[in-house]
Amino acid sequence: MHIAPMPSRGLTVGFDLDMTLIDSRPGIHACYQALSARTDTYIDCDLVVTRLGPPLEEELVNWFPAERVPAVADLYRELYPAYAITGTLAMPGAHEAVEAVRAAGGRAVVVTAKWEPNAKLHLKHLGIGADAVVGDLWAERKAEALREHGASVYVGDHTGDVRGARTADAYSVAVATGPCDAAELRAAGADVVLTDLTQFPAWLGGYRGASPA
């Protein structure tokens, strides 16, 4: 375990979106049902929502020929606002986690593999304030945005999020609320694993106390 020093310009915490800040399973399930109907293609929507995290195209290739995936991905993103936004809920502790960063004088940045316009719709609908939102980045590529924004902490639910944090030399805070259990997250290199975001404000207080001034 390591304690990453906070950058001199202040605390910035990155957050993943799906299954970290939001429970998008009901909305995504409904959107895949609509996609299945529109394309006349069988999709096991119950299975899909058990493995959220990686980019959309990595899921679609399980149901469509590779040459159709780009067009189907465009259709999915077109359908998404009508089917996936209102059915999505904030994860327990999500608002409080972001507010804890703000109360510490920091910035909260959402870095997600989700298409950025749809990510912003989720945050607006649920009233989760973010100082910046960066989409279309997965796993190690999340480090691009984390470095750009000077994030010293990245919070996520997937081993891909852990890899992104490690690549950015950020402290990896994992929450066991997604498809990866605590053991998987620890094995991937997470610095700390929380049950969910309700534990984050207390953790943040301890982290700030342990970090260099």
Question: Taking the mean position of all CA atoms in its chain, how far away is CA 115?
Answer: 12
Name, in order, each residue with C-beta under 8 angstroms of 45's C-beta and a sequence gap of 6 or more: 29, 32, 33, 36
pLDDT digit string (tens) for 177-200? 999 999 999 999 999 999 999 999
pLDDT value, residue 1? 41
> Taking a C-beta distance cutoff of 8 angstroms, is the pair 151, 12 a contact?
yes
Q: Are strands 132-134 and 22-23 parallel, antiparallel or unpaired?
A: unpaired
> Taking a C-beta distance cutoff of 8 angstroms, is the pair 47, 29 a contact?
no
pLDDT value, residue 209? 73
pLDDT digit string (tens) for 18-69? 999 999 999 999 999 999 999 999 999 999 999 999 999 999 999 999 999 9
Amino acid letter for position 128: I
